[in-house]
Structure 1
Amino acid sequence: MLILFVLLCLVAATCGQGNSVFIPQCANNDHCPLDHACVAQSCEDPCVGTCGSNSTCHVRFHIPSCVCPSGYTGDPLIACIPQVQPQCTANDHCPLDRACVGQRCKDPCVGTCGSNSTCHVRFHIPSC
């Protein structure tokens, strides 16, 4: 944090003995570089503490913007998580004993047949 202090010395012997005065860097964002914002009269990086984990912050005209980087998804203000690549988009992308469910190749027998019955999969289709 950059804080500008100016010592006002009335008598040389009193300099550095607590008689400093705070001189503000800014009164509004117009007094700061475009990638900083006026916070408590000081030009600060507005990204500090703004974005969630794994996110990237960019400042444009003093305003921070959080984004998830390529290959990540989620709410950039909370957290970005790695995107899971789909295993499949159709049954043809899976082995014959699996079916494409929610972009994953899964056993289509799970939860399909009643108790004490046997499930067989043929060409991605379960049969009890």
Structure 2
Amino acid sequence: MFRIPARLGALTRIRTVYRAATMTATSVLLLSAPTAAHAAPADPKDSGPNPLPVVIGNLQTWLMGILAAVATLFLVLAGVYWATAGGDPAQVDRAKGALKNALIGYGLAVLAPVLLQIVRGIVGG
């Protein structure tokens, strides 16, 4: 086996320490230098809260999305229950119940604009 003389081993360790110190100093120097902050300018047209029709429109969009997502979840669960029923009548009834819930959820998602239009009429927006 080849042995490195003690003098060369010490020299290698010194070079390694020097390189590590140089890299650390360079990193600290670069990270401590101030940089310009690029912030967006203030919007002078910010008029505060949204008017009621905009809020109701946003509510309609969110409500339809959430109802559709929950209905899709129930539809997938109904399919899993039905596929794993294996002839068990209780599991098939569970799948039918989940399918019914999915259809109700899709119906509510479709009716959400109508229901929110009723709310808009009541509130006067």
TM-score bucket (shorter structure): under 0.3
Structure whose alpha-carbon radius of gyration is higher: 2
Q: TM-score, normalised by structure 2?
A: 0.22
Q: TM-score, normalised by structure 1?
A: 0.22
Name the structure with the higher strand share.
1
Which structure would you say has the larger RCO, counting Cα contacts within 8 Å and 6 or more residues apart? Answer: 2
